[in-house]
Amino acid sequence: MDTGAIWIIATASLVAANAAILGSFLIMRKMTMLADAISHAVLPGIVIAYFISGSRASLPVSAGAAVSGILATFLIQTLTKKMKMQEDASIGLSFTFLFAIGVVLISYFGKDIDLDQDCVLYGEIAYVALDVWKINDVSIGPRQFWILVINLIIVVGFVYLFYQRLVLTTFDPAYAASLGISIVFWLYALMGGVSLTTVLSFEAVGAILVVGFFAGLPATAYLLSNNFKQMIFIAVGLGVVASILGYFLAAWVNGSVAGAMSVIVGIEFFVALAVSKLGKFRIQPNHEKVIKPTLGKT
Amino acid sequence: MAIIEEVKNPVLEVHSLTVVYNKQPAIWNVDFTLPKGQIIGIMGPNGSGKSTLLKAIMGVVDANIGYVKVFDQEIEEVRRKVSYVPQRQSVDWDFPAQVKDVVAMGRFATRGILSRLNAEDKEIVQESLKKVGMEAFANRQIAQLSGGQQQRVFIARALAQRAELYLMDEPFAGVDASTEESIIELLNEMRNHGKTLIVVHHDLYTASDYFDWVVLLNTRLVASGPVAKVFTPEILAEAYGSRLTTLSKVADLLAERRFPMRHK
Ligand SMILES: Nc1ncnc2c1ncn2[C@@H]1O[C@H](COP(=O)(O)OP(=O)(O)OP(=O)(O)O)[C@@H](O)[C@H]1O
Ligand SMILES: [Mg+2]
């Protein structure tokens, strides 16, 4: 296997890990669609930043994307919480609206800039290995890879440090609020992480695979685990497996790498579904005796 | 005639509290004070604002008008001494967690943002589970609990907070008679240790046995006072509307209890 293949798999695995960790919180909050929304809604920010800065340099483009990601979150929150619209309707409306603005902008500026919807949606992971970072003329690997390493450090640090707060506001927001914990703060912190990950990932793997990772990996892990921490680790593991198998599937059929990885994520889900459903047919022994409560007598 | 009894050195004061959702008031201009060391029932028909009242006291929802004082202070100052038990249906019990994880959440109330649980916390979690008779279920998936067991896990989580004042939203909803009895025994024991318990409850028949004090709510405050004073046919009719046949039965029952000699 050549080094290019290893870099592609490693880069995809990093995207998968970031999306799996954050997506696990999103799925328990029934907010997976928000990741989908953000991944599409970043488009106008990208196009505008691209047009203003005149380059595809990561920093301005990422900044532009992050701004539109947060804008989308804010728009959706306002529509649901303040305007009392249905959540799915607000999400659907916000992201198609912002994405459409992006599409219009691309076609308007299209002749001046080298950017198209396809690259935003499907990414260019096959070319990841070509864009290397050099320190003193020594190549240290693809630029995308290192950006995603930083992304992973941020995501893991955030979740590790604030794990209890994130779980509490996810499982029982009213109780969390009664302890004086700000639900809104942790929601935006989480969405900030989702925006960052989407933005830093889209260039490599495109919006479709990012969403596939955000939604598919935690949904599969949920079927296979009964402990939330374990679920996060399983989701990451499934992501790495999908990156490896997806790469070889693409090589085998000579097709899109991101597409093949998405397909593997889907296959993983259906296999897990079958396994968990079959598992339920087994008769489970009931170990704990049902005891009468002895409240207040202790 | 409405009865709104004020108390000296109240554990909780509510002043002109008003919460409006979508232009519809859920509670309107509610004023009362509650005594320390009692079991207090919050009662009223569905949609009368009982849950909203508890949430507004805890600052879970913002009051549009009015303010609340707990232990004579702002709620922010005394959160550690107050424990809130939400309605059981308000969370997704399919969350992948074990019983002990949920109860442990009560320990984080008193902990800093970055802290981890220590051995003492784990002991308190076990002890709280024991108090509600769920110690054998510590490692059980919460998705596999019955409704009554879920309710007891929520109570254990509140106990783990080691608070002084407890606000419980319908702890008796969907539990069987023997669990209800053991929960009320636990509440009595807590009261005897000087804790104050504010409990949303629906059953008028048991209310006079369970509570020392009752707050009757119907968007506005109908009454607040010792249970014997509040549970008169007129006041109950004002809270629930006069058509209920239950009400006259409850009143009869109460009269019977108050003057038992006449029937002997
Ligand atoms: N989040 C909300 N948004 C809009 N309206 C709400 C919200 N929560 C409650 N309400 C409304 O406020 C009123 C009071 O609701 P609340 O839940 O406080 O009543 P309750 O006395 O607890 O009722 P129940 O006995 O059914 O639990 C109801 O009319 C309800 O429809
Ligand atoms: Mg209620």
Mutation site, A24, A31, A175, interface B, largest B CB count within 10 A: A175
Residue A165, in any domain of the structure: yes
Task: Count how many domains chain A has.
Answer: 1
Atom of ligand 1 nearest to the CA of B50: 21
Q: Say if residue A26's pLDDT is above 70.
A: yes
Of the pLDDT bands very low, low, confident and very high (cuts 50, 70, 90), residue B238 is confident
Q: In this predicted structure, which of A233-242, A272-281, B20-29, B33-42 has the lowest mean pLDDT? A: A272-281
How far apart CA B18 and CA B30 sit, in angstroms, is 7
Mean pLDDT in residue range A72-93? 82
Nearest-CA residue for atom 29 of ligand 1: B47
pLDDT band at A55 (very low <50, low <70, confident <90, very high): low
Ligand index nearest the alpha carbon of residue B203 = 1
Query: Which residues on chain A are in Cβ contact (under 8 Å) with B114?
Result: 161-162
The verdict on a CB contact (< 8 Å) between A226 and B140 is: no
Q: What pLDDT, on the 0 to 100 scale, is given for residue A57?
A: 63
CA of B219 to the centre of ligand 1 (A): 10
Distance B205 CA to ligand 2 centre (A): 19
Query: Which positions in chain B touch A295 (Cβ < 8 Å)?
Result: 131-133, 152, 179, 182-183, 185-186
Confidence of residue B256 (pLDDT cuts 50, 70, 90): low
Could you identify the atom of ligand 1 that is nearest to the CA of residue B61?
A: 1
Closest residue in A to B99 (Cα–Cα): A227
Tell me the residues of chain A between 141 and 200 that have a Cβ less than 8 Å away from chain B. 161-162, 164-165, 168, 170-172, 174-175, 177-180
Residue A290 lies in a domain: no
pTM for the predicted model, two decimal places: 0.86
| Domain of residue A72, CATH code | 1.10.3470.10
Pairing of strands B24-34, B12-21: antiparallel
Residue A79 has pLDDT above 60, yes or no: yes
Given this model, what pLDDT does residue A292 score? 44
Asked whether residue A289 is assigned to any structural domain, the reply reads no
In a mutational test of the A interface, the residue from B80, B87, B91 whose CB has the highest number of chain A CBs within 10 Å is B91
Report residue A287's pLDDT band, with 50, 70 and 90 as the boundaries: very low
Asked if A288 and B84 come within 8 Å (Cβ–Cβ), the reply is no
> A286 pLDDT band (50/70/90 cuts)?
very low
Give a yes or no: residue A249 inside a domain: yes
pLDDT of residue A295: 46
What are the pLDDT digits (tens) for A7-20?
A: 999 999 999 999 99
Which of B80, B114, B128 would you mutate first to test chain A, the one with the most A CBs within 10 A? B114
Dist. CA A280–CA A85, nearest whole Å:
38
How many CB contacts within 8 angstroms connect chain A with chain B? 104
Place of tokens 């249905």: A86
| pLDDT for residue A40 is more than 60 | yes
Which ligand is located closest to the Cα atom of residue B87? 2
Q: Decide if A210 is inside a domain.
A: yes
Residues B16-30, mean pLDDT to the nearest whole number: 90
Taking the CA of B23 as reference, the closest ligand is 1
Question: Once rounded to an integer, what is the mean pLDDT over residues B22-47?
Answer: 92
- pLDDT tens digits, one per residue of B55-108: 999 999 989 999 999 999 999 889 989 999 999 888 999 999 999 999 999 998
Q: Which residues of B touch A172 (CB under 8 A)?
A: 86, 90-91, 105
Q: What is the 3-state secondary structure (H, E, C) of chain A?
A: CCHHHHHHHHHHHHHHHHHHHHHHHHHHCCCHHHHHHHHHHHHHHHHHHHHHHCCCCHHHHHHHHHHHHHHHHHHHHHHHHHCCCCHHHHHHHHHHHHHHHHHHHHHHHCCCCCCCHHHHHHCCHHHHHHCEEEECCEEEEEHHHHHHHHHHHHHHHHHHHCHHHHHHHHHCHHHHHHCCCCHHHHHHHHHHHHHHHHHHHHHHHHHHHHHHHHHHHHHHHHHHCCCHHHHHHHHHHHHHHHHHHHHHHHHHHCCCHHHHHHHHHHHHHHHHHHHHHHHHHCCCCCCCCCCCCCCCCC
Predicted local confidence at residue A138, as pLDDT: 81
Q: A84 contacts in B (CB within 8 Å)?
A: 22
Using a CB–CB cutoff of 8 Å, tell me whether A284 touches chain B.
Answer: no
Question: What's the pLDDT at B262?
Answer: 44
In this predicted structure, what is the pLDDT of residue A291?
A: 43
Question: Ligand 1: which residues within 6 Å by Cβ?
Answer: B 21-22, 26, 44, 46-52
Structure confidence by residue, pLDDT tens digits, B124-179:
999 999 999 999 999 999 999 988 899 999 999 999 999 999 999 999 988 888 88
**Would A100 be classed as within a structural domain?**
yes
Mean pLDDT over A52-76 rounds to 76
Q: Which domain holds residue A205?
A: 3-279
Interchain contact, A172 vs B105, CB within 8 Å: yes
Q: Which of B52, B90, B219 to mutate to test the pocket of ligand 1 (most atoms within 8 A of CB)?
A: B52
pLDDT for A187: 87
CA distance B47 to chain A (A): 18
Higher pLDDT, A127 or A232: A232
Percent of chain B with pLDDT over 90: 59
CA distances from A65 to A115, A152, A166, A182 (A): 14, 18, 24, 26
Predicted local confidence at residue B261, as pLDDT: 47
Atom from ligand 1 closest to the CA of residue B217: 21
Residue A293 pLDDT grade (very low, low, confident, very high; cuts 50, 70, 90): very low
Record: contact A174-B188, CB cut-off 8 A: no
Higher-pLDDT residue of A107, B14? B14
Bigger pLDDT: B17 or A69?
B17
> pLDDT, tens digit, for every residue of A184-228?
889 888 888 888 888 788 777 877 788 889 999 999 999 998 889
Is residue A166 over pLDDT 90? yes
Does the residue A286 lie in any domain?
A: no
User: Shortest Cα distance from A41 to chain B (angstroms)?
Assistant: 29
CB contact under 8 A, A28 and B95: yes
Report the nearest-CA residue for atom 11 of ligand 1. B26
Q: Is residue A92 part of a domain?
A: yes
Mean pLDDT of chain A: 83
Ordered alpha helix ranges (H), chain B? 50-58, 75-78, 99-108, 119-131, 147-160, 177-192, 204-210, 227-230, 233-240, 245-258
Q: What is the pLDDT of residue B19?
A: 93
